[in-house]
Amino acid sequence: MVSVGALRAHLVAVGLAGEVRTAREQSLVNYGLFAARDPRQTCGLEPDGEWGRAELLRLMADRCGVSADPDRTSGPDVIDPDRTLAALDAFAERLARAAHDRLPVLLGTGHPHRLLGFYATLSAALSAAGCRVLTPRYDECMRMSTHFGVRAHRLGYVGGVALVRSEGAEKGAHTHSPLPVRAALAAAAQQAGTLPKLVVGDHGFVCGAGQLGIEAIGLGDCDDPAVFVAEAEGIVSVAVPLDDTARSDYYRPVTRYVLKSAWLGQ
């Protein structure tokens, strides 16, 4: 089993926590976009609070460990590894309860290039524990905003994990949109009459599911304020602060730690 000390050292060594790749400039831009209720950053969340830039900075300092100094405007951002470890323990505890109760679950990611392996391993473990991993088919196109304008995307699944692909593309696409999880939930209700009791993911998957009243847990980078606002308002049960743009193999020790902590390891 990956020990707490070994995992903490790994998180810092590869930049999943500690000093991370996320630039302070980008974090502050995203906080401003969320404060303006820009849908690119709200991820489907409709917050109750005002959440201006100052409030968001205080929240992200508390939940992630970023600097609370508004005058620090450049350089790499920081995630407190001890906050990451504490959140991973809560994340694993929720997975353990889902496995014990054999709940239907839905997993999805807006970061398939980086995090697909993490979620796919969780999907396989939950399925082996008796959970029904939902992968409802949804054939309609979704018009979603990208860096290249509004493009058509389709919902798909890899290893039991929901993702979206742009028309004609084989690889999954990066997205903050809540449309994929809304499509998956609608399809699940229509085809099987079963909704998940737990959604596991990031970005719009967790915020979108939580906003609809479905329990959700997931990962969030320090430039993803929506996930942590959702946790603060009780919309998301667990938000794990973690750099979400690292090499996919860097997440393997995290995966092993979560599986063992949730009693889902082999």
Residue span of the structural domain in which 115 resides: 1-266
Read off the pLDDT band of 204 (50, 70, 90): very high
The yes-or-no verdict on residue 128 having pLDDT over 80 is yes
Radius of gyration of the chain (CA): 17
Q: CATH no. for residue 41?
A: 3.40.50.10490
* 74 φ, ψ (degrees, to nearest 5): -145, 170
pLDDT at 266: 54
Domains identified in the chain, total number: 1
Exposure pattern of 249-260 as b/e (b: 16+ CB <10 Å)?
Answer: ebbebbbebbbe
The predicted-structure confidence for 107-126, as pLDDT tens digits, reads as follows 999 999 999 999 999 999 99
The yes-or-no verdict on residue 228 having pLDDT over 70 is yes
The yes-or-no verdict on residue 147 having pLDDT over 70 is no
Of 110, 105, 104, give the one whose Cα is nearest residue 44: 110
Of 219, 214, 228, 157, give the one whose Cα is nearest residue 182: 214
What is the layout of strands, in order, in the sheet containing 216-220?
142-146, 149-158, 161-166, 105-108, 198-202, 216-220, 238-241
What percent of the chain shows pLDDT beyond 90? Answer: 89
Query: What average pLDDT does the segment 219-230 reach?
Result: 98
The predicted-structure confidence for 7-30, as pLDDT tens digits, reads as follows 999 999 999 999 999 999 999 999
pLDDT at 191: 87
Q: For residue 160, give both structure tokens.
A: 């039991």
pLDDT at 218: 97
Of 221, 226, 129, give the one whose Cα is nearest residue 178: 226
The answer to whether residues 110 and 202 touch, using CB atoms and an 8 Å cutoff, is yes
pTM here is 0.95
Read off the pLDDT band of 169 (50, 70, 90): confident
Exposure pattern of 132-153 as b/e (b: 16+ CB <10 Å)?
Answer: bbbbbebeeebebeeeeeebeb
* 66 φ, ψ (degrees, to nearest 5): -65, 165
What percent of the chain shows pLDDT beyond 70? Answer: 98
Strands 149-158 and 161-166: antiparallel
pLDDT at 1: 63
Of 156, 42, 24, 121, give the one whose Cα is nearest residue 79: 24
**What gap in Å lies between CA 251 and CA 120, rounded to an integer?**
12
